[in-house]
Amino acid sequence: MADTRAHGSTAVATDGGTAAGPALLEVQDLTSSYGAVRALDGVSLRADTGRITAVLGANGAGKTTLLRTVSGLVRSSSGRVVLDGEDITSASVESMVGRGMAHVPEGRGVIAELTVHENLRVGALFRGKVEKSEYDRIYDLFPRIAERRDQPAHVLSGGERQMLVIGRALLAQPRILLLDEPSLGLAPRIVAQIFGLLRRLVDSEGLSVLLVEQNARSALSVADVGVVLNLGRVVVTDSARTLMADEDLRHAYLGF
């Protein structure tokens, strides 16, 4: 085990990986269970503006549960979730997007029966009337879905679906984007394209991304900070570069 090098669940590395000062999103000692299984066991982490934070770990490490608990789909049994200084631990799921948090769930979350454009519109519903230029911007980011704008979303390929749900989340004008396994089932070229785009958005617009990935190599290549989960606990939090260089840790938890 590589536990000797773990920084502990609350420790935060200072070597350029994480920012000081108040975090945009702060998860404090979060615990939650599915039935008798404790999926998260005292997880703490932070996500900052202008950074991509990647949560890594094997299947069953608690990555998806973490995102679902943060956005309120799963209720925590203890711990807190703080967004921009406000405790949102028990806020309703529906209110999250209005608070600036957009969660793209696992499995893409395209509404297959709606057209591509209608899917985008759902992302902006809570904001009331939205300028056409905002849709144009999303279509400029993802020209491939622009071509299919009036087709039902079930005709999209996996990569196009991922582009659509990210575009839809962006229309909600989030401050933080929660992405659950965006690379799942996609060709490496598409993954690189999507991650590259995320990097540009984060750098140019001060977005924060909390990215959950099993594909640790791709995720670390784009992320600023990595958080490694194992069996519901944080094993280590460090800069992506440091984690990438740590061969023992990679072998033990990240599978590459």
Q: Which residue ranges make up the site for other proteins (CB under 8 A)?
A: 71, 73, 93-98, 102-105, 109-114, 118, 121-123, 125-126, 152, 154, 168, 172
The CA distance from 120 to 103, in Å, is: 14
CA-closest candidate to residue 188, choices 155, 222, 215, 213: 215
By the 10 Å C-beta count (0-12 exposed, 13-18 middle, 19+ buried), 12 is classed as middle
Residue 206 to residues 17, 24, 52, 192, 200: CA-CA distances in angstroms?
17, 11, 10, 20, 10
Closer of 46 and 168 to other proteins (Cβ): 168
Q: How far is the CB of 20 from other proteins (least distance, A)?
A: 31
**Sheet of strand 176-180, all strands in order from the earlier edge strand to the far edge:** 101-104, 176-180, 208-213, 52-56, 225-230, 233-239
Closer of 11 and 112 to other proteins (Cβ): 112
Q: How far is the CB of 254 from other proteins (least distance, A)?
A: 28
The residue written with tokens 């799921």 in the block is: 93
Q: How far is the CB of 104 from other proteins (least distance, A)?
A: 8
Closer of 121 and 241 to other proteins (Cβ): 121
Helices (H) and strands (E) in the chain, counts: 10, 10
Q: How far is the CB of 58 from other proteins (least distance, A)?
A: 24
H or E element in which residue 13 lies: none
Closer of 29 and 134 to other proteins (Cβ): 134
Closer of 124 and 229 to other proteins (Cβ): 124
Q: How far is the CB of 102 from other proteins (least distance, A)?
A: 8
Q: Which residues pair with 34 in a beta bridge?
A: 37
